[in-house]
Structure 1
Amino acid sequence: MSEIGQDRRGAWRAALACMVTLAVAMGLGRFAFTPMLPIMLHEGKLELEAGGLLASLNYLGYFVGAVSCAAIGVRAKTMVRGGLLATAVLLIGMGLLHSFGAWGVLRAAAGVMSAWVFVFASSWGLRRLAETRSPALGGVIYTGPGVGIAMTGLLGGALGRWGSETGWIGLGLLALVLIAVIWRVFNDGEQAVAGGAAPAPVAAPSAQDSAAARADALWLVALYGLAGFGYIITATFLPVIARQALPGSFWPDYFWPLFGAAIIPGALIGARAPVHWDNRLLLAIAYALQAVGVVLSVAWPSVVGFALGSLLLGMPFTAITLFAVRDARRLRGNAAAGLIGYATASYGVGQIIGPLFAAPLAQRTGSFQIPLLVAAAALALGAVLFAAVWARSRRAAATRERAATP
């Protein structure tokens, strides 16, 4: 086989392995709770407010895991393999243990593992794609969360018909099978820490633009948190919301896997967006799409409304992260890691607040209508403000260009 053929095969091997890795860590480890929550509510093991607390503990774990990655000096393959095995054990533990305190610890730990695996697998995979001259396959990696969410939606409900214990244990065993399939792939290449291979050079902003860049960085951090808050209420409670609106229907079990399936084309399309397109405008469009998706579940609580809402919420899900990272690199060049970390922390705070705000209010009022409208308003505000920042920068650039013209 020629060197080019070997590189291409190695690139696809790495991309697909990382896709499966993110499917396990994010789709199963992090988001399996969404389809399992209505089953646990029906069994009387949880009340809605307690379910919201468990969800927020998972997102708190993700936040802690994300901000701790920079301090970890362990080989990426070791972190990925260890995090995947821990994820499977934590899923099985949800079925074997029966106290709320134990569930809280397990969900928080699962959040930490999902963050570690996401960061280190992304780093390992992008490095392998750079080494094999196939960076365009990066979009394949980030379809993984969508694949995993779709799997949890389809399998979680089916397994849950035999009880939530069976559902959790079944998902844990599925994770072990998937881990076994990709285990050896992470022997390809070597990588010491999460930093990965150096990406293509990106120039930092000039001194003339530094004040505007600092302002843009502050906007990015603040508005990225609105995305975390805006999507997470639907992403945590979608099956519960749909069952309230469509009692007795079999459709609510399918809106969550539809959300996951929509992430897949969104990730592939977002990865191919030309780099010269303004990320702030792309973020404004993505936020607006998600805002409409959230509103549809309130304004049109039907099968069609929930289906369209799931699609509009899911498609921009991974693209928002990609555009935010690209904008951080525009502002900070190759020194963007700190800004990405701050933005990720802001997003994590939004995710933690969402269920804590929504679940008690929904339990008191018997409806998610108010929390969903607040979430949609947060996304709409983010869209308007990103568009305003983009428009302001265009006006400033036009002013400088006129001033420079003799």
Structure 2
Amino acid sequence: MPTPHSLEPEHPAARLAAPARARREAGPVAVALAGLVSLAVVMGIGRFAFTPLLPMMLHDGTVTLHEGGWLATFNYIGYFAGAAVCMFIRPDAVRMVRWGLVATVLLTLGMALPGGMPAWSLWRGAAGVTSAVVMVYTAGWCLQRLAELGKPELAGLIFCGPGLGIVVTGLGASGMVGAGWNADYGWLAFTVLAVVLVAAVWRIFVAQPAVAAANAPSHAAADTAAAPLDAQTWTLTFAYGLAGFGYIITATFLPVIAREALPGTVWADLFWPIFGAGVAVGAFLATRVGIAHDSRKLLTLLYGMQALGVAIAVVFPTVAGFALSSLLAGLPFTALVAFAMREARRLWGPHAPRLMGLMTASYGLGQIAGPPLATALVARTGGFASSLACAAAALLLGALAFAWMRRAWPLAPVRS
């Protein structure tokens, strides 16, 4: 997941053009909810609606499992590219959010149209770029506005957006399956939903008044300096990449896996919404953890929890097993990102955005590697057990890496 930048709009004219009345209406709760809805659209619909719709596409015969895996991979490549681009550009944050939301609507619509693998691959790749860019600039703009409005504690609401979006699209797809819809009607329905949600928050995303603009040159200059790429940095980066690989097979194929293990059950389409609910709850709970806790200890526990969640689906492929697996795999999803970014800030201080960019690249590479490995192992073994075992092992290795970091580089005790 890419890291948020706190950005100032570069064009004073754009700030002056923003209606004063809209700014007055955008109080802290409105800003937080707008961020939640924006991330629900680009992540829950633009990025992860593909997961519950993939079984429908397989049933319709429009793609094979191998092709579905590659569509997911193109999306993750796009996400990686979008996150990398955000490391080097400093545009108007509001403009990027608005353009990205419109692009998400159009790219979701594109998946409902004829075109086959060539066109769909392009749309999924572009949707990955868009989701990363909107994630970065939505988070950056909303966090900055909440700080200016004196309500930074509302930031937790923003990051509930992806999980809630997953819940809505997952439950929606389940209803579509029950109604006998084809996948293209599902994409059209989610396009309409995205239009409604974007319209609801469009007026919230307006350029804010200039604040602390004089600080920008010194901050930019400080960011150009390089902090040392020491053993702690590389260990953190490697472990974070393992998280990208560890969750992505479940996040891509969970409904397909459940249908294969539990043919004919109505529960198969409900495990993905359970995963989304876990993501939303985990994001909220992460905001209640104080900064005094060692992030590496928390990451060790979260990686272990997610590894357990992934493994349960292999060992207990029952309704109860998949439900527990989905919940335990979803709870740490956003929380471990938050704590990993906090550790990056501890290590690199004012230069943390560079380390966060490196970590995001590692996370993205882990995501890219997951789906092709899963489909290759399915072709060889006939099931997903081997790929899920690999994912659980990767997460356990990440947990061990953070446990080793605590032992190798203990924190100085906090003086009261």
* TM-score (normalizing by structure 1): 0.89
Residue among 47, 72, 78 paired with 1:61: 78
Q: Deviations over 1:323-376 (max 9, x none)?
A: 011011001112210000000000000000000110121133220000000100
Residue among 166, 178, 184 paired with 2:197: 178
Q: Deviations over 1:114-158 (max 9, x none)?
A: 000000000000001100111111111000000111111011232
2:187 aligned with 1:168: yes
SS of residue in 2 equivalent to 1:385? helix
Alpha-carbon distance between aligned partners in 2 of 1:97 and 1:34, rounded to the nearest angstrom: 19
Q: Deviations over 1:205-252 (max 9, x none)?
A: xxxxx87x8221111111100000000000100000000110110001
Q: 1:325-340 counterparts in 2 under 5 A?
A: 325-340=341-356
- Using a 3 Å threshold, how does the CA distance of structure 1 residues 117 and 190 change in structure 2: closer, same or farther? farther
Q: CA deviation at 1:191?
A: 7.1
- Percent of aligned pairs with the same residue? 50
Alpha-carbon distance between aligned partners in 1 of 2:234 and 2:271, rounded to the nearest angstrom: 35
Root-mean-square deviation (CA, aligned residues, Å) is 2.4
Residue among 288, 291, 295 paired with 1:279: 295
Provide the residue aligned with 2:89 in structure 1: 72
Q: CA deviation at 1:269?
A: 1.0
Q: Which amino acid aligns with 1:179?
A: V
Provide the residue aligned with 1:48 in structure 2: 65
Q: Which amino acid aligns with 2:253?
A: F
Q: Deviations over 1:10-66 (max 9, x none)?
A: 111100000000000001000011001111111111111111111010000000000
Q: Which amino acid aligns with 2:299?
A: L
Alpha-carbon distance between aligned partners in 2 of 1:378 and 1:370, rounded to the nearest angstrom: 12
SS of residue in 1 equivalent to 2:279? helix
2:336 aligned with 1:320: yes
Q: CA deviation at 1:179?
A: 0.1
Provide the residue aligned with 2:270 in structure 1: 254
Is the 1:226–1:350 contact (alpha carbons within 8 Å) kept by the matching residues of 2? yes
Q: Which amino acid aligns with 2:149?
A: T
Q: CA deviation at 1:9?
A: 7.1
Is the 1:157–1:167 contact (alpha carbons within 8 Å) kept by the matching residues of 2? no
Residue among 116, 120, 126 paired with 1:103: 120
Provide the residue aligned with 1:268 in structure 2: 284
Provide structure 1 residue ranges, at least 5 long, that are not aligned to the other structure.
1-5, 205-209, 402-406
Is the 1:230–1:378 contact (alpha carbons within 8 Å) kept by the matching residues of 2? yes
Provide the residue aligned with 2:372 in structure 1: 356
Is the 1:8–1:132 contact (alpha carbons within 8 Å) kept by the matching residues of 2? no
Q: Which amino acid aligns with 1:165?
A: D
Q: Deviations over 1:272-300 (max 9, x none)?
A: 21111111111111100000000000001
Provide the residue aligned with 1:306 in structure 2: 322
Q: Which stretches of structure 1, 4 residues or more, deviate above 6 A after TM superposition?
A: 6-9
Q: Deviations over 1:302-324 (max 9, x none)?
A: 11111111110111100011001
* TM-score (normalizing by structure 2): 0.87
Provide the residue aligned with 1:156 in structure 2: 173
Equivalent residues, number: 381
SS of residue in 2 equivalent to 1:378? helix
Provide the residue aligned with 2:158 in structure 1: 141
Residue among 256, 259, 270 paired with 1:243: 259
Alpha-carbon distance between aligned partners in 1 of 2:191 and 2:200, rounded to the nearest angstrom: 15
Provide the residue aligned with 2:17 in structure 1: none
Provide the residue aligned with 1:291 in structure 2: 307
Alpha-carbon distance between aligned partners in 2 of 1:337 and 1:73, rounded to the nearest angstrom: 13
Provide the residue aligned with 2:39 in structure 1: 22
Alpha-carbon distance between aligned partners in 2 of 1:366 and 1:45, rounded to the nearest angstrom: 21
Provide the residue aligned with 2:4 in structure 1: none
Provide structure 2 residue ranges, at least 5 long, that are not aligned to the other structure.
1-22
Provide the residue aligned with 1:404 in structure 2: none
